[in-house]
Structure 1
């Protein structure tokens, strides 16, 4: 890839972003619109549903879920399933410059499909084939950490070959290196990091800063104008932190305390509602004064509305990831590994980050991103500095029983 290509793309990328905001797409960002809620995960994608439907566990090839035949050398192709609005696009929203450059360099054609609408729906789409030991037709998928953990646990993910991932191994940011569900990143690499923050409309708060869950739940001036997310791990995780508990090592009692804390907010009508896609529009209009939010959305909202602000609580914040994973029985693993590694080259990572605005998991990208947009390179929501990274916490992996019990309690809380 031409290392100067990202710099030339800068003006066009910013213009495209402004157009999307002007057209109202800021309220329908990929993350806020499409992320599966915890209640949906319980209803449609619980692990218990596998046995209930009579689907047997996957057959493993050793302990890797690997395909018996990788045809990467003979077939220069890779099928990549991703979320919508999660890839850089060219002028007039046509083509994908980074994918085009990958094909020119390697000769590998990427069959790129944006067919992931939410984690739960996608899991339901691929699990019958995976459970039967069949190829899903996809060589690379992008799923949120809890679903990646589930696929690994079930033996439905292929172990990656570190020899094919020199850039990924060298450039993966430290805060993403050792998730408890995939130690050492044996099966996955992050596509993006997802930062959960507190967002507020400074006009709606009367000029006051909102920077804690305690304020959201207790400040009478915010009553009825507060929202939490319908994603369990984000809302519960942020509340656990506010209670002084570590989301990486909490107990059942800690979880119940967090649920009880939010239940009080529901009962007193401090919390207006639990939201998915629509908090962005309400926050921008001022119907919501403050809320728990995803940082990528806030970056986009700020480009259109100077009243939108965010805060990182002193107690810390929740970080999750969307992850690249090779499904069991995929037949082009080596080609998929080349594509993963390609996106860990700083010039390529910068071009992607400039378009999608979520946390870039690639070290060494700052100078490259500055060539595209200096303000993005300085934005700690895209490139966390050491102080911000030190405040990040991940929600721990759950056992099957915990996942079922916790989701039931959260679904009752939010009225799902």
Structure 2
């Protein structure tokens, strides 16, 4: 299993941008929306056995001895006869949006057949009509094995236009030895003994749901009042210096060095940290944690839609999903992959099957929820307030 160092998820840089992005998605520019009948292009899959797959860095299995080789992807190419041009060009949701939005809003090809973006950004693509609906008849594995808890997010009911690549949990990470007691509730972060030793995520979309859950809000249907209450609370915590700062992926270093004792964190990061820092624990608060996904989507006018659908379905074979999960260490969207790992003769792999941060157990699942997205109408105002708090 590879040591990722910095996790893929923590490369994210929030949704703070409210410039050109907000102008496009928040102000309802009519030209940006693409009608259903104008989204499909001529599918060349039968004649051209290839596809272009754009993903994030460090988000697919590689050969330990030859990082240029990607075992699961190589196997797909051999089995299907389809050549995959795999690029790691997505480093930031907003940045990638800016890269391909001119083509999409002008009804032009993007040059990509498959992309992976965070669900809050995927929601914008769906609202703008920028992605094609998939043919589930060509994807029996997706239909059979997709995690029921991820099957129907608010932005894409029935998952017709998106399929999770990997999933994860936003919760609390803390150093149990240095804190000296268990942390079970989000409110435990506000205890006097942790003053100046707590960090929160800087990105609005990454941070808001867990903070609302700590206040008892139902994040599947949160309201403006829930948002304002959360912001009022965080503003006070900033003034009293309870919160040390707001972070991106650098919370990993702060937590491992002891500069921070507890923080808002991603489940996948903690699995990586625990290898060298066994005192670090990840907690889904009693009030709940946010379950999120980063999903595969087929952009409008894709030249190889059928080939892309085949690749998506391939990664939902439990054996393939197990190999990917063992490498990336995020929540696997294919629960059936757990049995594959459990039967492994490799103890390290078999142990992953019992890790609730990769395969959440029933107790943990009861506390997980998928937040409704921030709508276009809400985004500009909410991002401005959050950015003032964070200091962006």
- Note if 1:392 corresponds to 2:392: no
The answer to whether the 8 Å contact 2:27/2:376 transfers is no
- Note if 1:74 corresponds to 2:47: yes
The answer to whether the 8 Å contact 2:211/2:230 transfers is yes
Counterpart position of 1:118: 92
Aligned counterpart for 2:196 among listed residues 187, 202, 224: 224
- Note if 1:288 corresponds to 2:265: no
1:280-314 Cα shifts (integer Å, max 9, x gaps): 01101110000010000000000111111111111
Mapping 1:42-53, distance limit 5 Å: 42-43=18-19, 45-46=21-22, 48-49=23-24
Give the Cα separation in 1 of the matches to 2:220 and 2:150: 14
Give the Cα separation in 2 of the matches to 1:189 and 1:50: 22
Counterpart position of 1:402: 378
Runs of 4+ in 1 over 4 A off after TM superposition: 50-55
Distance 1:227 1:159, change over 3 A: same
- Local SS of the residue matching 2:245: strand
- Note if 1:151 corresponds to 2:152: no
- Note if 1:415 corresponds to 2:391: yes
- Note if 1:57 corresponds to 2:32: yes
Give the Cα separation in 1 of the matches to 2:297 and 2:242: 40
1:29 is displaced (CA, Å) by 1.8
Aligned counterpart for 1:35 among listed residues 6, 9, 12: 12
Counterpart position of 1:336: 308
- Local SS of the residue matching 1:163: helix
Give the Cα separation in 2 of the matches to 1:288 and 1:362: 34
Give the Cα separation in 2 of the matches to 1:191 and 1:123: 18
Counterpart position of 1:181: 155
Aligned counterpart for 2:238 among listed residues 256, 262, 266: 266
Give the Cα separation in 2 of the matches to 1:313 and 1:209: 11
Distance 1:183 1:272, change over 3 A: same
- Local SS of the residue matching 1:382: coil
Mapping 1:187-226, distance limit 5 Å: 187-205=161-179, 207-217=180-190, 219-226=191-198
**Structure 2 length normalisation: TM-score?**
0.95
Counterpart position of 1:134: 108
The answer to whether the 8 Å contact 1:344/1:362 transfers is yes
The answer to whether the 8 Å contact 2:200/2:243 transfers is yes
**Structure 1 length normalisation: TM-score?**
0.90
1:390 is displaced (CA, Å) by 1.7
1:145-166 Cα shifts (integer Å, max 9, x gaps): 0111111111100000011110
1:91 is displaced (CA, Å) by 2.6
The answer to whether the 8 Å contact 1:44/1:121 transfers is no
CA RMSD in angstroms comes to 1.7
Mapping 1:228-239, distance limit 5 Å: 228-239=200-211
Question: How many residue pairs get matched?
Answer: 387
The answer to whether the 8 Å contact 1:55/1:128 transfers is no
Distance 1:185 1:407, change over 3 A: same
Counterpart position of 1:240: 212
Counterpart position of 1:362: 334
Give the Cα separation in 2 of the matches to 1:55 and 1:369: 49
- Local SS of the residue matching 2:320: helix
Give the Cα separation in 2 of the matches to 1:44 and 1:354: 38
Task: Structure 2: state its 5+ residue gaps.
Answer: none
Counterpart position of 1:162: 136
Counterpart position of 2:81: 107
1:43 is displaced (CA, Å) by 3.9
Give the Cα separation in 2 of the matches to 1:151 and 1:162: 20
Give the Cα separation in 1 of the matches to 2:94 and 2:216: 31
1:211 is displaced (CA, Å) by 2.4
1:408 is displaced (CA, Å) by 1.2
Give the Cα separation in 1 of the matches to 2:214 and 2:374: 21
- Local SS of the residue matching 1:143: strand
The answer to whether the 8 Å contact 1:200/1:289 transfers is yes
Aligned counterpart for 1:257 among listed residues 229, 232, 240: 229
